[in-house]
Amino acid sequence: MCQHQVTCPSAEAVDREAARIVATFPEQGWSLLCNGVILFEDTGELLPDGSKIEPHRGPARHALAA
């Protein structure tokens, strides 16, 4: 699927979010990566096989200061 050099990580790879963005829809809150992953702005993901990854962003920076 990926035509980039160095090839982007596959949708099954741990670092799948490092793939290049091929289409972005910020008004809708999602981007399509070249490995077929749909990445949502809340850090959730929809994989090409239809499975999902729940949002996994860390705590807000201001929460860490408390």
Helix (H) or strand (E) holding 54: none
Residues 37 and 47: beta-carbon distance below 8 Å: yes
Give the torsion sign (CA, 54, 55, 57, 60). Answer: negative
How many residues are present in the chain?
A: 66
| Residue extents of the structural domains in the chain | 1-9+20-49
Helix (H) or strand (E) holding 50: none
Model pTM score: 0.79
Per residue of the chain (66 residues), what is the pLDDT tens digit? 677 788 899 999 999 999 999 999 999 999 999 999 999 999 999 999 999 999 987 766 666 655
Residues 52 and 39: beta-carbon distance below 8 Å: no
Specify the pLDDT at position 4: 75
- Which pair of tokens denotes residue 25? 């829809």
Specify the pLDDT at position 61: 67
